[in-house]
Amino acid sequence: MKVGIVGVGCSKFGQRDVTIQELAFEAVSEALKDANLSQEDVELSVVGCVGTRGYELMPAVVVNEYCGFAGKGPLRVEAACATGSAAIYSAYSSIKAGIVDIAIAIGVEKMTEVDTATSAAIGGRAGNYLWEHHFYGTTFPAYYAMHATAHMARFGTTEKQMAMVAVKAHRNAMKNSKAHFQKEIVVEDVLNSRIIAYPLKLYDCSPISDGASAAILASEKMITEHGWDPIWIESIGFSSDTSNMTMREDFVGLKATKLAAEMAYKRAKIEDPLKSFDFATVHDCFTIAEIMAYEDLGFCRKGEGGKFIENGESDFGGKIPVNTFGGLKGKGHPLAATGIAMVYEVTKQLREEAGKLQVDLKHYKALTHNVGGTGHFCWVFIFGR
């Protein structure tokens, strides 16, 4: 049984003065309207919410009630920054199993309820709290700074190349009205911004954002009955890695990404991603993360990610446009909303509804890559129309 995306919605990302349930409803109402459905048509609601920075300890309860899914939401999922993809997978699996025909995946996060220092401390617990954060005070930027310095030392990757990732993200986000950042920047702005964890500077880091996204999934049978033109979920890959960073093989990439990609490619019979996809969305929580993603996903060889961005290969007109809506860096990163916001982007692009950010379509296929923690989780989805 095939499963497709038939409706998507996304709130405005940024610092939002609304409740978590109001935020979720922005995305849910848009998704329902997009699919021409009502709450009564939805059989299952899967809410993704990390919830570590919000005031609701059980956010799925209030979200489902406010959005009209009380009685249909027995499930809340969490996979750190990959929570949105976990929600999509849970809804997908329920349909594949024949339990329901229509399900909604909701990702929502209120990140700005705590101050920056508290948020950074919470993020530092995304790995192994007792071994790393408790004893050594690691934070999320520090983890990726370790990856950046390792990549620079081994391959000669430069701070300027990482800055180019941020410039591209902001340039695309400027044309996305729902993006957190609406300001274009240049390389010098990134290089001159204050250091957060060397070599990562302020503009190398994704913002602390509130936001929500939603996607409605349906079975092939229901798609035929409704006459929808869906975006099909063609393949899924997933993996994870050790909680303790000292047990990793190296720090120049994310093993979980490589394994998840290999699984997704094998199932979809993808041999060369550059000849298979029109564009991709990758998890660029920090600029070095996007460079490593190019390599781990097979867009270029290991160590060539810096040159890939420098030569414009991940921009419009390059070998594969990446993060056309601004990515986590420019669009924003409300943890659980991120993975589903990637599906929103894919759906809009493959339907040719992306406006000024529309890519040229040849294969009508796209990839999403969503990482949780510092490669502690990873999901790779392949979509087609």
**For the chain, counts of helices (H) and of strands (E):** 13, 11
Cα(106)–Cα(103) distance, rounded to whole angstroms?
Answer: 10
Cross-strand pairs, 195: 201
Residue 132, both tokens: 């790393």
Q: Which residues are catalytic?
A: 81, 333
Residue 379, both tokens: 């999901």
Cross-strand pairs, 213: 10, 107
**3-state class (DSSP) for residue 110:** coil
> Measured between alpha carbons, how far is residue 290 from residues 168, 240, 254, 370 in Å?
11, 18, 11, 11
What does the DSSP assignment read for 288-321? HHHHHHHHHTTSS-TT-HHHHHHTTTTSTTSSS-
The angle formed by the CA atoms of residues 370, 373 and 376, to the nearest 5 degrees, is 85
Q: ω into residue 74 within 30 of 0, thus cis?
A: no
Residue pair 234/380 in contact by the 8 Å Cβ criterion: no
**3-state class (DSSP) for residue 235:** strand
**3-state class (DSSP) for residue 385:** coil
Cross-strand pairs, 238: 379
CA nearest to 24, candidates 65, 67, 57: 67
Backbone angles phi, psi at 382, to 5 degrees: -115, 125
> Measured between alpha carbons, how far is residue 156 from residues 90, 150, 162, 257 in Å?
40, 10, 12, 22
With the C-alpha atoms ordered 329, 332, 334, 340, is the resulting torsion angle positive or negative? Answer: negative
Residue 189, both tokens: 């702005």
Residue 96, both tokens: 């594949």
What dihedral do alpha carbons 164, 166, 167, 168 form, nearest 10°? 90
